[in-house]
A = this chain, B = another copy of it.
Amino acid sequence: MIKAHGYSSPDAHSRLGPFRFERAAGGPDDVTIDVLYCGVCHSDIHQARNEWDNTVYPCVPGHEVVGRVSAVGANVTRHALGDVVGVGCMIDSCRSCEPCTNAEENYCEGPNSWLSTYNGPMVPASQAVTGSNMYGRDNTFGGYSNIIVVSEKFVLSIPAALKPEVAAPILCAGATIYSALKHWGVGKGQHVGVVGFGGLGDMAVKLAKTMGASVTVFTRTIEKLQDAKRMGVTGVLEHDHDAMKKLDASFDFIISTVPERHDVNPFIKLLKRGSALCVIGALERMSPVNNQLVAFHRLSVAGSLIGSLADTQEVLDFCAVHGIGPDIEVIRIQDINEAYSRVVSGDVRFRYVIDMSSLGDAEAE
């Protein structure tokens, strides 16, 4: 075991604070990483606060992890000491089911699905019936920490052209968006709608635009219209009924990044015949969909979950090649609770990234 420290949530109602723990030392296939930066994803907040009813405490969030390789196992070939690397939402999967063998680990159909970078597995080994916790762990601890040990297969390469702090949100927000845009064939000449203009929305706007689509972003925050303008896309206020009406049946694809239950019916109306609205932000019961709107134009309301390892590497490379990346604000780990409040109130442009050097030494705390 190796000593580690970071910030954790002790229960659903407390603030995050310093936490010391141990990680399993790296085996022959593992990469040990000194964490440099970690993005703050809205799902970190859902998880820390047990809003999905599946949090195992203590919870060390963080699945947009960028760091420097400090050790590699004997079998590791793709990463070397000193490399800047990334870890996204997954640190393992069953590796043998149909999706896993077809490079879609994010849809792993193994007994516990993929292993989440933090708060995974959801069925702790101590409570699992024999064989049902294939990962043999009670919990996993994420990137709000000084060090992380991950199997080589689940470690991404960060291109040199990307600053490590900018790369961090690409590992979840970027991959989640990219995977959906790619699957639904977004490209040149299309009109793509982005609902919600937070960390995911920022990446959706930039990726769809760079893929050649004409992009309209929907927001409830009047100040964000300026951000849309700055990014060279159209911004529309969701409650501007006249503006919404003019967009009827004009979109080839709409992606909703809103991180909670919301009404998608006003956006369904905006889809062209035969096209899809994909909900990636809200993993819960949605508001009722009016099937009259859906059926009358043979539409679909779909969902998509994070990205595969291949998607994640592709989007990192895509961002590096095209010189795009998330708008970020770097914070200290000591500011994490304040940051959570601001994410919940939508008061961030667009992703907080924790400079993990602010953690200091565990001994000093």
Contacts and interface: CB of A to CB of B under 8 A. Distances in A.
A156 to B, nearest CB: 21
Given A99-B273, A273-B99, A294 B303 contact: yes
A183 interface: yes
Interface stretch (A8-16, A117-125, A282-290): A282-290
A296 B54 CA distance: 15
Interface in A35-91: none
B301 A305 contact: no
A296 B300 contact: no
A205 B253 CA distance: 32
A107 interface: yes
Copies, count: 2
A361 to B, nearest CB: 40
A298 B302 contact: yes
Residue among A99, A287, A303, A304 having the largest count of chain B Cβ atoms under 10 Å: A303
Interface residues of A, number: 35
Nearest to A183: B298
A273 to B, nearest CB: 5
Interface in A94-110: 98-99, 104, 107, 109
A285 B290 contact: yes
A279 interface: yes
A249 interface: yes
Contacts of A183: 298
A288 B285 CA distance: 6
Contacts of A285: 288-291
A276 interface: yes
A292 interface: yes
A349 interface: no
A43 to B, nearest CB: 12
Nearest to A180: B298
23 contacts: A99-B273, A107-B298, A109-B249, A113-B296, A183-B298, A276-B300, A283-B291, A284-B290, A285-B289, A285-B291, A286-B288, A286-B290, A286-B291, A287-B288, A288-B288, A289-B301, A296-B303, A296-B305, A298-B304, A298-B305, A300-B300, A301-B301, A301-B302
Given A285-B289, A286-B288, 9 more contacts: A284-B291, A289-B289, A294-B303, A297-B305, A298-B303, A299-B302, A299-B303, A300-B300, A300-B303
For the complex of A and B, 9 pairs with smallest distance between CB atoms: A295-B303, A294-B303, A300-B302, A300-B300, A285-B288, A283-B292, A295-B305, A285-B290, A291-B303
